[in-house]
Amino acid sequence: MSEGIDDEGIHFEDDHETSNSADDMLIIDEHVEVAPCWRCGKAFDTAILICPYCRASRVIRYKEPYRKSATNAETGSISLLMWLYAGMLASLIFIGAIVRLDPNKNPVADEAIAIVVAIAIVEIFDAILVVIGCVKARPTLNPWWKGYRRAALAWLGGAVMLAAMLAINIWYHDFLKIQLKLPEDGSGLKSLKDFPFLVIVLLCLQPAVFEELFFRYLALGHFRSVMGVHGAVWISSLMFGLAHLGAPLSMPILILLGVFLGYARVSGGTLLLPMVMHFFHNYTVFRLEGVL
């Protein structure tokens, strides 16, 4: 309560009390309902869908951790993703410029060792990049998991689709060999058949783990937060296929394989499914080519 004398010399008493208590501030107008923001905790009109303090939406789509600015975090993560991708491509250029494979030469032991060393360097470098991505730019948790029944169907369907993908892959490469009259072992990988353990680790296991982590976890996860699921699958598959610079003629079929693995990840709700399928795909291909 306050009191005083106004300009006309009349004594007045003012019993209007201002209050700073939180409870009182919740009721600004008896006709307006307010509620606190889920992110910053400050109360505002429920008719307003965007918090005027932190710009969070009233509608919560995902359970996301608090971020200073969701948009900045997403663009920063996607920028990091592109840098890591550019790093992968650069490593392939570097190694490719150093190691030149001549398919007409008979494979000799020291050339096979050179190929193994080159592949190992690239794979280790890529693994480091993927680990950096997983640590620095984990995507927002996406609700991929849709239950055990859906996952079981995805695993069964995935096995059938894997067989179909392998058949398409083999047919495509045979078609190319016939049409372009390519040599039998154009890649020079048959010289690695004396190193089966290294082939399995470097060309089957490492891609199954780290490539899936990068393309189906990082890339797919981040793209899903800024576009629809189909766009995210296709663009991450495009990145996957184009990353195989050492086999440019195989890029179309690898993009298709990436699409298959991407939808396997989305349908199955787990990263394990595309990892297992990627491993078996590579293992089967190298076995059929006589490398294993």
- Site residues for another protein per CB under 8 A: 33-38, 45-50, 55, 57-59, 70-71, 74-75, 78-79, 82, 85-86, 89-90, 92-93, 96-97, 179-182, 223, 226-227, 231, 235, 238-239, 242-243, 245, 248-249
What's the closest the beta carbon of residue 70 comes to another protein, in angstroms?
7
Place of tokens 């790093």: 87
Length of the chain: 292
Q: How many angstroms separate the CA atoms of 166 and 197, rounded?
A: 22
Can you read off the two tokens belonging to residue 152? 């079981």
Tokens of 74: 């997403």
Closer residue to another protein, CB minimum distance, 138 or 193 = 138
Alpha-carbon gap, residue 282 to 202, rounded angstroms: 11
Q: What are the distances in angstroms from CA 89 to CA 86, 93, 133, 240, 244?
A: 5, 6, 15, 11, 9
Q: How far is the CB of 173 from another protein (least distance, A)?
A: 14
Residues 6 or more apart in contact with residue 55 via CB below 8 angstroms: 69
Judged by beta carbon, residue 182 or residue 198, the one nearer another protein is: 182
* Least spacing, CB of residue 219 vs another protein, in Å: 10
In whole angstroms, give the CA distance from residue 15 to residue 3.
8
Question: What contacts 195, CB < 8 A, 6 or more positions away?
Answer: 112, 116
Q: Taking Cα atoms as reference points, which of 176, 185, 202 lies closest to residue 288?
A: 185
CB of residue 26 vs another protein: minimum separation in angstroms?
A: 11
Are the beta carbons of 99 and 118 closer than 8 angstroms?
A: yes
Shortest Å distance, C-beta 176 to another protein: 9
On whether the CB atoms of residues 241 and 233 are closer than 8 A, the answer is: no
| Cβ distance to another protein smaller for residue 140 or 284 | 140
Q: Is 223 exposed, middle or buried (0-12, 13-18, 19+ CB in 10 A)?
A: buried
Smallest distance, Å, CB 226 to another protein?
5
Give the residue with the Cβ less far from another protein, 183 or 196.
183
**Cβ distance to another protein smaller for residue 131 or 227:** 227
Q: Report the residue number, 78 or 162, with the smaller CB distance to another protein.
A: 78
From the CB of 279, what's the least distance to another protein, in Å? Answer: 24
Between 222 and 284, CB nearer to another protein = 222
